[in-house]
Amino acid sequence: MLLQKDLNPALNTVTAYGDGFLEINRVRYDGAVCFAPEGPVRGVALRAAADIDAAFLQELVGLKTAARDPLAFLDDQPPAIERPDDAPEVLLIGTGPRQTFLRPDVLRPLLALGIGVETMTTQAAARTYNILMSEERRVLALLLPGDPS
């Protein structure tokens, strides 16, 4: 299905999707991809939403563990996570042809830092990404195309 007729060559836009593929800026991708409005479209080694864990999402959005006080273990506190200035407002996760919710413990670190996480079908995530991108929102998309069967 064709999604976007006009392209701004400076911004990553989902231009089409279908069974088992995604098209970003008229370039076809047969696997999972991650991208923001600006920057590269990165291939991601994911086959299913069940493969997503908290550490993967934190790395994906660029979160880093803050320098820890050497005596922090006395307070039994987990390491603090720093939110970078360019962190997305929202992470859209397209889970393929069927919506799959992620476990709360996977989402908790991002939500605690004010980063919204939405899981939906890949088609819905692609359309939502294009809308948010056109509104100049700081959005990050992680799209799994699903099986072409």
Instruction: Judge whether 148 and 42 are in contact, CB under 8 Å.
Output: no
In the prediction, which pLDDT does 2 show?
53
pLDDT at 119 (0 to 100): 97
Per-residue 3-state assignment (H helix, E strand, C coil) for the chain: CECCCCCCCCCCCEEEEECCEEEECCEEECCCEEECCCCCCEECCCCCHHHCCHHHHHHHHCCEECCCCCCHHHHCCCCCEECCCCCCCEEEEECCCCCCCCCHHHHHHHHHCCCEEEEECHHHHHHHHHHHHHCCCCEEEEECCCCCC
pTM for the whole structure: 0.83
The pLDDT of residue 87: 87
Per-position pLDDT tens, the chain of length 149? 555 455 566 899 999 998 889 999 999 999 999 999 999 999 999 989 999 999 999 999 988 765 666 676 676 665 567 667 778 999 999 999 999 999 999 999 999 889 999 999 999 999 999 999 999 999 999 999 976 55
Per-residue confidence (pLDDT) for residue 141, from 0 to 100:
98
**What was the pLDDT predicted at 85?**
74
What local confidence, expressed as pLDDT, does residue 146 receive?
76
